[in-house]
Amino acid sequence: MTATDPAMTALAHRWSALSLLHGRIENCVERALQAGHKLSAREYALLDVLSRQHDGEGGHLQMRQVADAVVLSQSATTRLVTRLEQRGLLSRYLCPTDRRGIYTDVTETGMRLLNEARPTHNTALREALDKAAEDPALAPLVTAVEELPGAIQPT
């Protein structure tokens, strides 16, 4: 198989379509969140992921898991956490059972902002998917996204 092989060319075109869909969705969501709540799409994603933590066994995510969930490197995730902490949206504290571990929680202010931003996010996501579904090259990808089972959990 070579780079000019028709199968490779088709695969590259499908990857390009997926990348295009992602970019369109992210741009739409980003604009809506910035305009309505002064949040980036990554900030929203981080607040959303961290808001789902709980005090039960395995309920708090390690920074690696958070980074995987928001699709950033660990260092970029740490910088993002720091920025949101400075805005009063997140707080960090030492793990009570392992003093080396640091947990990050969404503050009351962060939860309020997340809850206010969630309808904006969901509306922008729906609008972006509906618009993309009108494009014959993207419609099958939209269908695939809509048919995915449940939430993907960070590993």
Tens of pLDDT along 49-71? 999 987 777 677 888 888 998 99
**DSSP H or E segment with residue 147:** helix 139-147
How confident is residue 11, by pLDDT bands cut at 50, 70 and 90?
Answer: confident
Poorest-confidence range of 30-39, 42-51, 64-73, 97-106?
Answer: 97-106
C-alpha 93/C-alpha 91 separation (Å) is: 7
Q: Residue 3: pLDDT above 70?
A: no
- Contact (CB, 8 A) for 64 and 155: no
Kindly report the CATH number that applies to the domain delimited by 15-136.
1.10.10.10
Q: ∠13-129-25 over CA atoms, to 5°?
A: 70
